[in-house]
Structure 1
Amino acid sequence: MAWQYWTESPRQGRWRQVDTPTIDTQHQVRIRTTASAISKGTETLVHNGQVPPNIAALMRAPHQLGDFSYPVSYGYLGVGIVDQGPDEWLDKRVFGLLPHHSHHVVDPSELLVIPDEISDHRALLTGAAETAINILWQQPPRYADRIAIVGAGMIGATTALLASKFPLERLEVLETNPARRELISSWGITAVAPEEASADCDLAIHVSGHEAGLARALEITGDDGTVIEASWYGENAPAVPLGADFHARRLNIVASQVGQVAVGHRHRRTTQQRQRAGLESLTDPRFENLISGVSAWHELPAVMDAVTQPGEFAAATLCHVFTYHDIERGIPDV
């Protein structure tokens, strides 16, 4: 038997036991999952029932089962081993945009083979790296730019790691959480509390998911500068202080969303090429620090509930990983 995680109503998720799938054609492969991870920003909206109906179709994950609102089986950070399919794919470790299931049957064109030097857990950050690349493609940093990244969650921290490779005059990460600031600083990247941020930035990247972060990004952006808004608010409607000096200083707010390749690269890069670039960036060992917790697969409903509501656990979570090595035993008796 196989297992699938379903969200059945707001804040109610559970595992369903299903028949183990098998491939239907020689052009498919079956993956036995070894690990999956929560993408906290988007999966919080799904878990809490906050996906706006008018964009439900755009929010669909590639291998989602069911529809919004419920029941729905969602997720897009999965790693596993190919155990059925063409000989050239057998036993390959692969990453895919796959929900929290024990097994998947997909077309191999939807998978990336994981390099030997990247662990299964680190490979789950491919989605975050792909998102960060899209953000940096949206408004590419220039030589000697001054850049601020507002928010050091999984996406913000990943964006900081990639941006640190550019020849910038200044890179600062603004974060309210002292533990996250300490982590960013350990990478050799400047991390400050929002009130301590430097002003006159050429580019501010907002990924905190809070309206206060967006307001601060506008405050520290220099005249004619740009704020990239990469946060996702769902049904929430953040207040944006456009009545301050937004018009007087001719600031720009540009949206970045990973569902489409950024405009500057859209005609020259496919989504899979962008995804591969994200996977290949994970050879940087600093990414290992973003794995903030590991649990057994059957603990996902409880962890999902804890990580998607305010509290110490959510504040400490960057990328939480679930392992599937004991899936054949089923859910333990409590």
Structure 2
Amino acid sequence: MYRLLRFAGPGKVEIIESQSVALQPGEVRVRTLFSGISAGTEMTAYRGTNPYLTSVWNPGIRLFQQDLREPRLGYPLDGWGYSEVGEVVEVAAVPDPVDEGKDAGRPVKVGDTVWGIWGHQSEAILPAKTVAGHQLPEGMDPLAAVFVRVGAIALNAVLAADLGVGSTVAIFGQGVIGLLATRFAVLNGATVIAVDGIRVRQNKALAWGAEEALAPDPDPAARIRELTGGMGCDCAIELSGNYRALHEATRAVGADGTVVAAGFYQGGAAPLRLGEEFHHNRVQILASQIGSVPNRLRTRWSVPRLEQTVIASIASGALDAASLVTHRFDIADAAKAYELLDNNPESALQTVLEFR
């Protein structure tokens, strides 16, 4: 038997038991050690606001549609969570590896500690090829591996922003992904102005190399103009998923500047006023999402390369990701973890579920 987290309904978390099954050829069994909770995307499923609950995603034409004839997600929801790390405890006979190019990885064996995506459950059966190359470097803290996926999201946004020495970027939202983006932007040589209303997050951004840390009130764009000699920043990255922050990002960049919108936005966008600075300064808004890398980089970069870059940054000490963990809950107490993130999100950075 193994334990699995279920959203039984909006705001309702259950831990259920499910029967373990035998492996098939080419599969591995992983015993979960840690699983990170996403305070953005995952909380939309917990709260009942995720668009997949009310619409159907048509992958052929890449549209959400209100098609009542098609099945859509509904409660109960199992398998949420995308930041897992665990130990390989069983390996079935694995066929000879097929060369899959630069993203192919070293086959796993029993005893390997691996990271991946298999949801909040105490064990998972996975195709061996999905965790090949996902072994942690020797000596790396397994807790830090819960940041691989969120780190890749942050790095992808930084790559979309095309930052480097001499550039100035304002990063709106200094939660986990925002702080990771701040660190990667600093490592890229950019000057970072962090924007967040929570003092603890501002302090962490400064500790990770941000030049300034501003509150979202009263007028961060005006302050950014002061800091940049009236020019505004070259680029802004918005990672809070808040439409007001997205609007402020369009105000913060200079003429012909770029805003990378990497938050997961919900509902209507009334605070976003596109007839103002966006229009007059010819601002470009780019969406950044982990399903793909920026267009100009696709011949050289891939999502696996993003993830491996995050691992390498953690292993080298350039990125102290584990220091972002503020709360750890046993899987049996998962409901308390979600209540914390729902009712008191400012008190937490990364919340992690533990499996014992």
TM-score range (shorter-chain normalised) is 0.7 to 0.9
2:121 aligned with 1:101: yes
Count of aligned pairs between the two proteins: 314
Taking the aligned partners of 2:330 and 2:138, their CA distance within structure 1 comes to: 24
Taking the aligned partners of 1:280 and 1:129, their CA distance within structure 2 comes to: 11
Taking the aligned partners of 1:285 and 1:233, their CA distance within structure 2 comes to: 27
Shift of 1:30: 0.3
Shift of 1:55: 5.4
What amino acid sits opposite 2:325 in the alignment? I
Q: Could you tell me which residue of structure 2 aligns to residue 268 of structure 1?
A: 300
Equivalent residues of 2:56, 2:72 under 8 A apart? no
2:323 aligned with 1:318: no
Equivalent residues of 2:290, 2:303 under 8 A apart? no
Structure 2 unaligned spans of 5+: 63-70, 94-107, 226-231
What amino acid sits opposite 1:37 in the alignment? G
2:244 aligned with 1:212: yes
Q: Could you tell me which residue of structure 1 aligns to residue 182 of structure 2?
A: 160
2:63 aligned with 1:76: no
Taking the aligned partners of 1:97 and 1:56, their CA distance within structure 2 comes to: 21
Equivalent residues of 2:10, 2:47 under 8 A apart? yes
Q: 1:159 to 1:181 in 2, by over 3 A?
A: same
Equivalent residues of 2:292, 2:302 under 8 A apart? no
What amino acid sits opposite 1:70 in the alignment? Y
Equivalent residues of 2:253, 2:259 under 8 A apart? yes
Equivalent residues of 2:182, 2:208 under 8 A apart? no
Q: Could you tell me which residue of structure 2 aligns to residue 329 of structure 1?
A: none
Equivalent residues of 1:126, 1:282 under 8 A apart? no
Taking the aligned partners of 1:242 and 1:78, their CA distance within structure 2 comes to: 39
CA displacement 1:40-75 (0-9 Å, x = unmatched): 10011011111113355779xxxxxx9622111111
Structure 1 unaligned spans of 5+: 60-65, 326-334
Q: 1:302 to 1:56 in 2, by over 3 A?
A: farther
Taking the aligned partners of 2:148 and 2:255, their CA distance within structure 1 comes to: 34
Q: Secondary structure at the match of 2:150?
A: helix
Taking the aligned partners of 2:306 and 2:58, their CA distance within structure 1 comes to: 22
Q: Could you tell me which residue of structure 2 aligns to residue 231 of structure 1?
A: 263
TM-score of the pair, normalised by structure 2: 0.83
Equivalent residues of 1:30, 1:105 under 8 A apart? yes
2:6 aligned with 1:6: yes
Question: Percent of aligned positions with the same letter in both sequences?
Answer: 24
Taking the aligned partners of 1:209 and 1:310, their CA distance within structure 2 comes to: 17
Taking the aligned partners of 2:8 and 2:58, their CA distance within structure 1 comes to: 18
Q: Could you tell me which residue of structure 2 aligns to residue 24 of structure 1?
A: 24
Pairs within 5 Å for 1:148-297: 148-168=170-190, 170-190=191-211, 191-194=213-216, 195-196=219-220, 197-199=223-225, 200-283=232-315, 284-297=318-331
TM-score of the pair, normalised by structure 1: 0.88
Q: Could you tell me which residue of structure 1 aligns to residue 55 of structure 2?
A: 54
Shift of 1:211: 1.8
Taking the aligned partners of 2:237 and 2:187, their CA distance within structure 1 comes to: 16
Shift of 1:270: 3.0
